[in-house]
Amino acid sequence: MADSEPPIGTMPGSSECIHLSQKTTLLGTEKVIPIVGIYGIPGCGKTYLLNQLKQNLGETHFAFFEGSEVISSLVPGGLEEFRKSTEQEKMLWRQRAISYIRKTCTTAKKLGVVTGHFMFWPEQESAGQTVYTCQDLHVYTHILYLNVPLELIGQRCQDDVTRNRPYTSIDHLRKWQDAEQTQLRLLCRDHSILFCLLSAKPTLVDKVMAFIRDFRCHSKGYNLACAETKLDEVINAEKKLQTMLAFDADKTLISARRYGRAVLGNCLGAWTQFRSVEKAVRRSPCLLLHIFSPSHANVRRSRRREGF
Q: Structure pTM?
A: 0.68
In this structure, are residues 137 and 37 in contact, taking their beta carbons and an 8 Å threshold?
no
Window from 140-149, 161-170, 281-290 with minimum mean pLDDT:
281-290
Window from 35-49, 83-97, 127-141, 244-258 with minimum mean pLDDT:
244-258
User: What does the pLDDT read at residue 292?
Assistant: 45
Calculate the average pLDDT of the chain.
78
**Gap between the Cα atoms of 114 and 91, Å rounded:** 17
In this structure, are residues 26 and 75 in contact, taking their beta carbons and an 8 Å threshold?
no
Q: Which amino acid is at 121?
A: W
Burial annotation 227-258 (CB, 10 A radius, 16+ → b, else e): eeeeeeebbeeeeebeebbbebeebebbbeee
| Cα-Cα end-to-end distance for the chain | 20
- Degrees (nearest 5) of the Cα angle 173, 78, 180? 20
Domain boundaries for CATH 3.40.50.300 within the chain = 2-218
Residue 60 pLDDT exceeds 90? yes
Confidence band of 287 (pLDDT split at 50, 70, 90): very low
User: What does the pLDDT read at residue 163?
Assistant: 73
**Gap between the Cα atoms of 260 and 263, Å rounded:** 5
Q: Which CATH number fits domain 2-218: 3.40.50.1370, 1.20.1440.230, 3.40.50.1100, 3.40.50.300?
A: 3.40.50.300
Residue 296 pLDDT exceeds 50? no
User: What does the pLDDT read at residue 294?
Assistant: 46
Residue 133 pLDDT exceeds 60? yes
Residue 129 β-bridge partners: 120
pLDDT digits (tens, 9 = 90+) for 101-121: 999 999 999 999 999 999 999
Burial annotation 171-187 (CB, 10 A radius, 16+ → b, else e): ebbeebbebbbeebeeb
**Gap between the Cα atoms of 7 and 291, Å rounded:** 41
Residue 26 pLDDT exceeds 60? no
pLDDT digits (tens, 9 = 90+) for 202-211: 788 999 999 9
Give the neighbor-by-neighbor strand order of the sheet with 35-39.
Answer: 62-66, 111-115, 35-39, 142-147, 194-199
Number of Cβ within 10 Å of residue 192's Cβ equals 19
